[in-house]
Amino acid sequence: MAITTDVSRGCERPQVSCAEISRQMHHAGTDHTFIRPDLEPSDNAIEGRFLLCRLKSGIVLHATEIRDLHEMTTQLVAGPDLTFFVVLDGLVDFSIDNRQFLAADRRNALRNADCSALMLTEHAVMTRRAHKGDRTRKVTVSVDGDWLAEMADGSNGQRLRQFTTSHLSHATWRASPRLLALAEQILNPPDHCTVLRDMYIESRSIEMIAEAVSTLGGEDAPAITTGLATRDARKARAARDYIEANLDKVLSLPEIAREIGVSPTSLQRRFKAAYGTTVVDFLRARKLDKARDALERDGLSIGEAAFLAGYSNPANFTTAFRRAFGILPKAIKR
């Protein structure tokens, strides 16, 4: 595929560095970071074809045909937007604000020829886990509020409004031959001049959105996993932000609920719906993440890391750590 920097602002190099990926990711969101491993900006993260750009129509297009070079975890603050994606080959492993959508368990990962839609009504943290040697071919198109307002008009409006006003709404269906053909054409555009190739890619992206919207709002629409109403999502996010800002403190469910102005029961319900886990389990997992980072980067002792994670007994910390990460703390301690 011949992608030019004029059109895509992307890459057509055999290998793509961490710095180049981060530079391109501003089209999809903010605060893109490589969490693990500790790679230098000049280190190559993937090899293959990588295209990420904002088209003249306002659509954000992300088309990749890549092989991951490391076991990696990356994060990005995304949304608000509606995203359609087609996975032509390989596995996709990512979560939104710790709620897993496509490939929480790689045995049940999204496989060939599926199309999905995901709605974010507010900013959210997207985490991608890449597995060394995995190959992925996918095309993703995202649209913002202006597009959503226009798409919700007409006979399909009610179904689309239901989907697009609920944070973390999600649907998956088998991609049609036409949708697969459009994705393939975006990945492999003809060797036109720059302007014509731009037009070709953009027209196919718009057609992808039109077909996906028609399916999502049609009479035979796929089953929808409904997310949270915006107000509930904000309360859940406020609780999450409060936890993140106070990881070094001893927190309790009643305290967190009181801080954001809801009852503990209401908080548990909203938090579980938003993130797929309880407040206590999320807090425990984040403290373990912080302890792991301290072991890797700061050289803390296992006892110090255990205290940081809220464990008075290092043996209990070691058990919890191995359950969470599959390795012992001493295996990563500097």
Please determine, for residue 180, whether its predicted confidence score (pLDDT) is greater than 80: yes
Q: Single out the residue of 203, 210, 190, 185 nearest to residue 88, CA to CA.
A: 185
pLDDT band at 154 (very low <50, low <70, confident <90, very high): low
pLDDT average, residue stretch 135-158: 77
To the nearest whole percent, how much of the chain has pLDDT over 90? Answer: 30
Question: How does pLDDT run across 90-114, given as a tens digit for each residue?
Answer: 777 788 877 776 532 333 334 445 7
**For residue 129, what are the β-bridge partners?**
73
Q: Report the Cα 102 to chain-centroid distance in Å.
A: 10
Q: Quick one: pLDDT at residue 153?
A: 62
pLDDT average, residue stretch 168-187: 89
Q: Quick one: pLDDT at residue 294?
A: 83
CB atoms within 10 A of CB 146: 9
DSSP 63: E
Q: Single out the residue of 146, 105, 99, 107 nearest to residue 127, CA to CA.
A: 99
pLDDT average, residue stretch 67-73: 90
Helix (H, G, I), strand (E, B) or coil at 92: coil
Please determine, for residue 240, whether its predicted confidence score (pLDDT) is greater than 60: yes
CB atoms within 10 A of CB 218: 12
pLDDT average, residue stretch 110-138: 81
Are the CB atoms for 298 and 120 separated by under 8 Å? no
Check residues 146 and 286 and name the one with the higher pLDDT.
Answer: 286
Distance CA 86, CA 289 (A): 31
* Average pLDDT of the chain, as a whole number: 82
Check residues 274 and 78 and name the one with the higher pLDDT.
Answer: 78
Check residues 102 and 31 and name the one with the higher pLDDT.
Answer: 31
**Cis link prior to 254 (omega < 30° from 0)?**
no
Helix (H) or strand (E) holding 192: none
Are the CB atoms for 253 and 243 separated by under 8 Å? no
Listed range (7-11, 56-60, 119-123) with the worst mean pLDDT: 7-11
Q: Quick one: pLDDT at residue 79?
A: 86
Are the CB atoms for 88 and 181 separated by under 8 Å? no
**For residue 125, what are the β-bridge partners?**
77
pLDDT band at 116 (very low <50, low <70, confident <90, very high): confident
Measuring CA to CA, how many Å separate 1 from each of 35, 215, 282, 309? 30, 29, 42, 48
Q: Which residues are within 8 A (CB) of 307 and not within 5 positions of it... i.e. 6 or more apart?
A: none
pLDDT band at 130 (very low <50, low <70, confident <90, very high): confident
pTM of the model: 0.68
Q: Quick one: pLDDT at residue 215?
A: 86
Q: Quick one: pLDDT at residue 1?
A: 33
* Strand pairing category for 166-167 and 114-120: unpaired
CB atoms within 10 A of CB 5: 11
Check residues 11 and 23 and name the one with the higher pLDDT.
Answer: 23
pLDDT average, residue stretch 187-210: 92
pLDDT average, residue stretch 48-69: 93
Buried b (16+ CB within 10 A) or exposed e, 164-194: bebbbbbbbbebeeebbebbebbbebeeeee
Domains of the chain: 5-225 (2.60.120.10), 228-331 (1.10.10.60)
pLDDT average, residue stretch 255-272: 90
Are the CB atoms for 206 and 243 separated by under 8 Å? no
Residue 202 backbone dihedrals phi, psi, to 5 degrees: -65, -40
Q: Quick one: pLDDT at residue 253?
A: 93
Listed range (69-78, 122-131, 217-226) with the worst mean pLDDT: 217-226
